[in-house]
Structure 1
């Protein structure tokens, strides 16, 4: 085994290994999962460390290899193992980061043209988007100054050129698969939640999208992911009056669906996510209230304070829950709520008291 690994490491660094591996993937030469995984690793290594050494023709071959492999996934009798799909998505994401701003501006258009709404294709498309999020957006990953500059440019270019089309594709995927494929629907909700932090919120925070997400809150296999997605939407910075309206409209629908009746809910995993969502809504309203007070918008501040106070009973129910995850997820809202009650009390009726 050790000899085999040493051989593979040596092969990675050889001049033409990438070509052998590209051909193997494009033609489906090997059936062994570990060999396929290794072929993707070799391509990954080439793109990451030695891509500039390739000629324009060779770089084109890498692009064509990936698209041929993607096309073959739609026709194969069995989908690839998850670890191969994840590795493929990482390689697609690396290729995107390397080429999107220069040689491959139609990256997403090309992928969507191939995959359409084919479930296997959609799976790989969504995995690739999450891998791109990890490469370009994830704040937990430390980037060099050069990478940060490149990532900012990629996001700016995506906003201008393709984000509306991507959002449309997410809506189509959710609409198509929400009743028939919970795995793809949850993957898509995860993508929306990841991207919403840096794209134009109006593309997502609109009636057709939000109504669909709220519908998912009543479906057991979708509601945890829908909860997280709504949390990301609520967490996004926006005008304080608009934020209050958004939170209140969400709360009305959630309450009408019976989701505020905590005692009837036995699923602690869902309640933990729901508690996080209520915490996000409460803290967002408090930020809006503070901003409105600062600009002396007393009517807006009063409306927002009433919205905050109306969440009090729900907040206390979640805080009193015997499950630690559920009660700890709401503590931020509790703390901020007590703080503004003190503030509002000391500043008097002008702030809505």
Structure 2
């Protein structure tokens, strides 16, 4: 069903249905678990349909998708970004919802304004999810996606060093003999991404 909604969105937004999110989601109760689950699934389906760069597109599809992303930035992306934290805070013990929120952040961070994700509120939320084994993998993906976001070298260095400091302060770059394989893999992913990002900046 989420995929069908994403197809409708891609066909009608923004020319025929610029109020898509307002009409279907923002005027309702996004803190209701069923609504939140479907909404987050629709957002991921929209990313797959419109944004995902791993899918080959025709020129017409690429032009359409650029237009949709530009319109989303202007019309609704700020509200979408705010909704992630609102939903996460409303349903703190629901691991499935928490994972979907983190997956949304990881998917959308590549093309939305940096400040919508790289702020104290969102970053604190992501960091807190490392403490839960059910959500730590998704939290890792969100941090890695943020680090890999395209930006100027100066911004990239500043962001990377800031994130590295936060991760260190929270003990998220440390490995002990008592850590299981998943924890070692998580730390390895973070360290690897941090290193690759800094090397990429140095080579530019």
Instruction: Provide the residue aligned with 2:75 in structure 1.
Output: 161
Residue correspondences, number: 203
Q: Per the alignment, do residues 265 and 120 of structure 1 end up closer, same or farther by CA in structure 2, a change over 3 Å counting? A: farther
Matched, 1:283 2:185: no
Does the aligned pair in 1 maintain the 2:175–2:187 contact within 8 Å?
no
Q: Per the alignment, do residues 239 and 142 of structure 1 end up closer, same or farther by CA in structure 2, a change over 3 Å counting? A: closer
Larger Rg: 1
Matched, 1:141 2:55: yes
d(CA) in 1 for partners of 2:75 and 2:175?
Answer: 44
Which of 134, 152, 155 aligns to 1:239? It is 152
3-state secondary structure, aligned to 1:262 = coil
d(CA) in 2 for partners of 1:134 and 1:259?
Answer: 30
Matches within 5 A, 1:327-346: none
Which of 120, 129, 136 aligns to 1:223? It is 136
Matched, 1:201 2:145: no
Instruction: Provide the residue aligned with 2:187 in structure 1.
Output: 274
Instruction: Provide the residue aligned with 1:103 in structure 2.
Output: 16
Instruction: Provide the residue aligned with 1:43 in structure 2.
Output: none
Does the aligned pair in 2 maintain the 1:216–1:222 contact within 8 Å?
yes
Which of 177, 193, 206 aligns to 2:91? It is 177
RMSD: 1.6
Report the CA distance between 1:189 and its aligned residue. 0.4
Does the aligned pair in 2 maintain the 1:240–1:288 contact within 8 Å?
yes
3-state secondary structure, aligned to 1:198 = coil
Does the aligned pair in 1 maintain the 2:51–2:65 contact within 8 Å?
yes
Does the aligned pair in 2 maintain the 1:189–1:226 contact within 8 Å?
yes
TM-score computed with the length of structure 1 as normaliser? 0.55
Report the CA distance between 1:265 and its aligned residue. 5.0
Q: Per the alignment, do residues 215 and 254 of structure 1 end up closer, same or farther by CA in structure 2, a change over 3 Å counting? A: same
Which of 50, 68, 93 aligns to 2:6? It is 93
TM-score computed with the length of structure 2 as normaliser? 0.92
Instruction: Provide the residue aligned with 1:33 in structure 2.
Output: none
Instruction: Provide the residue aligned with 1:121 in structure 2.
Output: 35
Matches within 5 A, 1:31-50: none
d(CA) in 2 for partners of 1:201 and 1:92?
Answer: 27
Q: Per the alignment, do residues 265 and 104 of structure 1 end up closer, same or farther by CA in structure 2, a change over 3 Å counting? A: farther
Superposition misfits of 4+ residues, deviation over 3 angstroms:
none
Does the aligned pair in 2 maintain the 1:218–1:257 contact within 8 Å?
no
Report the CA distance between 1:143 and its aligned residue. 1.8
Gaps of 5+ in 1: 1-87, 292-353
Does the aligned pair in 2 maintain the 1:93–1:128 contact within 8 Å?
yes
Does the aligned pair in 2 maintain the 1:189–1:225 contact within 8 Å?
yes
Higher relative contact order (CA 8 A, sep 6+): 2
